[in-house]
Structure 1
Amino acid sequence: MRIVSSFLMIFFVCFFESGKAQSDTLDKYILTPSPSFKPHINGAAIFGARPGSPILYKVAASGQKPIHYSVKRLPAGLSLNENTGIISGVLNKKGSYRMELTVTNSLGKNSRSFTLKIGDQLALTPAMGWNSWNCWGLSVNEDKVKESAQALIDKGLVDHGWTYINIDDGWEAANRNADGTISPNEKFPDIKSLSDWLHSQGLKFGIYSSPGTRTCGGFLGSYKHEMQDATTYTNWGVDYLKYDWCSYDSVYKAEGDTSLAAFKKPYEVMRNALRQQNRDIYYSLCQYGWRDVWKWGAEVEGNSWRTTGDIEDNWESLKAIWSRQTPLYPYAGPGHWNDPDMLIVGKVGWGDQLHQTGLTADEQYTHISLWCLLSAPLLIGCDISKMDKFTVSLLTNDEVLALDQDIAGNQAQQKINGKDYQVWVKKLSDGKHAIGIFNLLDNKKELSINWDDLGLSKTEHVRDLWRQKDLGKFKNKFDVNVDPHGVSLIKVF
């Protein structure tokens, strides 16, 4: 994370105030069908935890409220709140615990198998949630975080698997306590109570630090206090740590060792501190893809790692980050994910002055489609309380989100790289394939995709995932007209 200049902030505010009518016309671009009132279980079909660590898992289910939750074969040591769908407790023995989830309302019921895997791996599917940075920047405070969490619940996103609420930079006190421990500043008067409240809603709590002496925003980092900070995070009930390189660059240069081992060292130090905690904390490495982090991020037990610099809410930034993902698919999988940065849909701003994203509706479909094909962490970066119907529809299409949360964890591969279009293919756990057909032009383009070029069968059944609509069988090829900077996202089988 790098601080956005005041000049850019002023430019963004002026530009988007003049074009704010964009948000008034987005409803016509909604493709996701209206949600059913019948109950339906969403989200990942697997969850990982370590032996002896506290477990908190909320069954994601949509449909008319109230919904009743039940579980068959719930292991001893765990309990279910039948009114909220929150599973909690502790399991001490390694193994795969297979159970059946059922949700019921006045209109029917829905069941699905679910596996709780107790072992050495966390993040068996990519994280889904919200991060404060792209919205509030350093102006984040406790009220804004709680309002965002409440909006996540009220707008129904939690029913589709969005659970992490992550505070980015700006929460730290100016100085450490006499004993060296860290405290929040006046913007977060009771961070433990905030954490407890989030957990009571079935949400998870994330926080931010740097291995350097200072964060990117100039607040206290964790340098030489890694164990103290990890212990403090555990005491606060933290579930996610974003660890941002920032000022560690000065430490790295001062030590005079430019080896890869020296570059990895700060992430290993915090890894060791986290490992000694009796709590599972998702470990997010943020160092902009330097030194090919995808080749060693899993070695330091990173659950995800940034592959590029910070994203901005424009097409050129999106394309630049997209272009760097192509060779990275071998390094992603359950427990360790490539992270192309946070989502730039809705109202963003990196401070108190928010504006509608600079992406067009079609570019937003491309953005969400690509991130889901990549099995990327999905962290909303906008003000959820001001989220319009279009943005909600982008983030609650369960057939699209299922690509990201597929238990196989395969990152899509670029199969066709044409002059003005690309085709990416992702193999799913059920043997089917998801395909993204992307138009890079500024105008609509008719595309004809040969199944042979993708290594598929002569005849494929095609389903449009955004519209959740079967399109029929297509022999040898698939013809589609794709909007400017847009996508056709399909599943074939």
Structure 2
Amino acid sequence: MTFSYLRKTGIALLCCVASLTASAQTKSNFKSWAQTPPMGWNSWDAYGPTVTEAEVKANADYMAANMKNLGWQYIVVDIRWFVENDKAGGYNQTDPIYVMDEYGRYLPSTKRFPSSANGKGFKPLADYMHSKGLKFGIHIMRGVPVKAVNEKLPIKGTNGITADKIYTTAMQCTWLKDNYTVLADKPGAQEYYNSIMELYASWEVDFIKIDDLSRPYHQGEIELIRNAIDLTGRPMVLSTSPGETPIAKADHVKEHANMWRMVDDVWDIWKDLTHLMKVAQPWYSYISPGTWPDCDMIPLGRIAIRGERGKDRMTRLTKEEQYSLMTFFTIFRSPLMFGGDLPSNDAFTQSLLTNKDVLAMHRDGTDVKQLFMENGQLAITSRNSKTGQRYIALFNIGDTGNANVSVNLKDLGLSGKVKVKDLWTGAASTQTDATLSRSIAPHASVLLSISN
């Protein structure tokens, strides 16, 4: 055994140890990437699988000009940006034209994203976002492309392992057949996820929403993804989708993802919100800096321009229902991903997204707790981590008749004379009664701050 061989082997081992150490350090730090709930825009509710570069930039321009100063920062391109011929209103699954490199990694369609031409990928679009002081995100499906498997494309970073060696047809996504499941214990499986995260890091992606991970819960692939992101050294926020994420996996998901969906898609239907409120009940204790139970996108403003469900419209939720949705999302401290077309916002929609008092509660809240959910009534409280003031959200989730929704101030740690402010209207008052009570119409809510 020569000195040269020993020297080379030693260097290789040191490099391996250094890489693993860097990965471990990154993994331990990933929760610092989203200390407050991420806030941004996602293309899905308005544009389905057909959003274009011009539309993405238009929403970014609006956010930069009107919302960035309030904490809104992510612009996320949702599903199937790598398909040339998707159509509005659903998925073109019969004859998709995929854009892919020699390693089976999806690339943006140049028809929809012209700046991605000549192998540039999403780097130019990410550069545009960063020049605006924003952050850029993409959506992908879990798994390895069916096309890569069928064509036995090589996996980057392996010695001859091809895509057909790491897949199974078991648990293939039931609603979109682009990809197969990756067998997490197969040689080449980790390298495949490493290769795509390496690509996204080279594009300077800041946020990755990965679909079909949570229902059912794909623990093996989630671990491969976490490892792959960490290996890049780039802080890319990881969002798993869709729900319902099983509460039995709560401890696992919070150690691997920054945010995870609690439910399937929330649309502009009242029952979607009440279902979310019920499913959210076991998740309150998991609300924590860097790891956020996710209520889904905000289906307000102008949606379904070329979306999946329904025709081009302003949200079907009433104004009171819209207040209730935003009140629940913000006091719960869910990530806020607006689904409507931002340049189409009317004054009311914009007011829901830019209320400074509400956003301060969302940003600085802590100790989020449900006080009760019974008889068509819901009460949630939190505390401002900086000022100590208490917040209380009261909901009438029943369908008929006003409800007197009440809480005892001592349950909020308050007594005596208190100052009360309605965060949506700005109206202020004082009270000395030990019970705080409001008469609330069906589907409506009240959001208050309370302090001595």
In the TM superposition, what is the alpha-carbon distance from 1:455 to its structure 2 partner? 4.9
Matched, 1:486 2:444: yes
> Which among 98, 101, 109 is matched to residue 177 of structure 1?
101
Partner of 1:419: 375
| Selected match of 1:134 from 39, 45, 49 | 45
| 1:61-460 alignment, distance < 5 Å | 121-154=32-65, 156-173=66-83, 174-186=98-110, 187-189=112-114, 190=116, 191-213=122-144, 217-219=176-178, 223=182, 224=189, 225-245=192-212, 263-292=218-247, 293-300=249-256, 302-349=257-304, 351=306, 353-406=311-364, 409-410=366-367, 412-429=368-385, 430-441=387-398, 442-460=400-418
Counterpart of 1:374, as a letter, is F
1:463 match? 421
One-letter amino acid matched to 1:164? Y
Q: How far 1:124 moved relative to its partner?
A: 0.5
Deviation, 1:484, is 2.6
Off by >6 Å, runs of 4+ in structure 1: none
CA contact 1:210–1:244 (8 Å) conserved in 2: yes
CA deviation map 1:226-270 (0-9, x unaligned) = 111101111111000001127x98xx9xxxxxxx7xx31101101
Counterpart of 2:437, as a letter, is D
- 1:50 is matched with which residue? none
SS where residue 462 of structure 1 aligns? strand
Percent of matched pairs sharing the same residue:
30
Cα distance in structure 1, aligned partners of 2:124 and 2:49: 21
1:29 alignment partner in structure 2: none
Deviation at 1:479, TM superposition (A): 3.2
Question: Would the aligned equivalents of 1:210 and 1:222 in 2 still touch at CA under 8 Å?
Answer: no
Report the more deviating stretch, 278-287 or 393-402: 278-287
Check conservation: 1:209, 1:221, Cα contact below 8 A: no
Residues 471/419 of structure 1: CA separation in 2 closer, same or farther (3 Å cut): same
Which one has the bigger helix percentage?
2
SS in 2 for 1:268: helix
Give the Cα–Cα distance (whole angstroms) in 2 for the partners of residues 417 and 483 of structure 1.
Answer: 16
Q: Residue type matched to 1:427 in 2? A: R
Shift of 1:447: 3.8
Please identify, of 212-221 and 304-313, the stretch whose mean Cα deviation from structure 2 is larger. Answer: 212-221
Q: Structure 2: how far apart are the matches of 1:318 and 1:396?
A: 21
CA contact (8 A) 1:461 1:474 kept: no
Q: Partner amino acid for 1:144?
A: E
SS in 2 for 1:280: coil
Deviation at 1:433, TM superposition (A): 1.2
TM-score, normalised to structure 1, is 0.69
- CA deviations on 1:454-475 (whole Å, 9 max, x unpaired) are 5532443211111223212332
Give structure 1 stretches of 5+ with no counterpart: 1-93, 95-117, 253-259
User: Following the alignment from structure 1 to structure 2, what is the Cα–Cα distance between the partners of residues 299 and 289?
Assistant: 18
Question: What SS does the aligned partner of 1:405 have?
Answer: helix
Given that 1:140 and 1:170 are in contact with CA atoms closer than 8 Å, whether structure 2 keeps it comes out as no
- Contact 1:346/1:357 (8 A) holds in 2: yes
Q: Distance in 2 between matches of 1:409 and 1:245?
A: 30
Residue range with higher mean Cα deviation, 224-233 or 350-359: 350-359
What is the deviation of 1:344? 1.3
Shift of 1:219: 4.5
Question: In 2, distance between residues paired with 1:413 and 1:135?
Answer: 32
Equivalent pairs counted in the alignment come to 361
Q: Which amino acid aligns with 1:165?
A: I
Q: For residue 17 of structure 2, what is the aligned residue in structure 1?
A: none
Paired residue secondary structure (1:471):
strand
- Given that 1:145 and 1:165 are in contact with CA atoms closer than 8 Å, whether structure 2 keeps it comes out as yes
Amino acid at match of 2:53: E
Cα deviation for residue 143 of structure 1 reads 1.3
SS at match of 1:242: strand
CA distance 1:120–1:453, change in 2 (3 Å)? closer
Instruction: Give the alignment's Cα RMSD to 1 decimal.
Output: 2.4
**CA–CA separation in structure 1 for the residues paired with 2:443 and 2:235:** 40
Higher strand share: 1
Gaps of 5+ in 2: 1-24, 84-97, 117-121, 146-172, 183-188
